[in-house]
Amino acid sequence: SAVISQKPSRDICQRGTSLTIQCQVDSQVTMMFWYRQQPGQSLTLIATANQGSEATYESGFVIDKFPISRPNLTFSTLTVSNMSPEDSSIYLCSVEGVKSKAGGVYEQYFGPGTRLTVT
């Protein structure tokens, strides 16, 4: 399994500002994922980040709002830009695990999350 840490664990920010969330993994991984978990909502994929290439964003998420960096195989950052109260959420970093015994199923390991409150 992979051990994932995130910084900061929580933050309270003012609207209009930006916050960069860091994700560190204890092993080299090809794909890293960023999710958002809003209160009462499903865990939603924001983007997939591969080292050495541009992140791939899901429908409803854009690079200007959520720029992502992936400088190496163990680290990634997600920036939440020009924040509004609607961005208040938990942001989680995730990586793909080894193929399961059943074949074809990649377990995903999640970081502890960053709890963001925008006032």
Partner 1 sequence: QKEVEQDPGPLSVPEGAIVSLNCTYSNSAFQYFMWYRQYSRKGPELLMYTYSSGNKEDGRFTAQVDKSSKYISLFIRDSQPSDSATYLCAMIAGGKLIFGQGTELSVKP
Which positions touch partner 1 (CB under 8 A)?
4, 40-45, 92, 94, 100, 102, 104-105, 107-113, 115
The residue count for the chain:
119
By beta-carbon proximity to partner 1, the closer residue of 77 and 94 is 94
Query: Least distance to partner 1 from the beta carbon of 16, Å?
Result: 27
By beta-carbon proximity to partner 1, the closer residue of 17 and 100 is 100
Question: Does an H or E element contain 99, and which?
Answer: strand 89-99
By beta-carbon proximity to partner 1, the closer residue of 14 and 60 is 60
**Cα 62 to chain centroid, rounded:** 14
By beta-carbon proximity to partner 1, the closer residue of 59 and 119 is 59
Amino acid making up residue 85: P
Query: Least distance to partner 1 from the beta carbon of 44, Å?
Result: 8
Between the alpha carbon of residue 58 and those of residues 17, 98, 117, the distances in Å are: 23, 24, 23
Query: Least distance to partner 1 from the beta carbon of 4, Å?
Result: 7
**Cα 29 to chain centroid, rounded:** 14
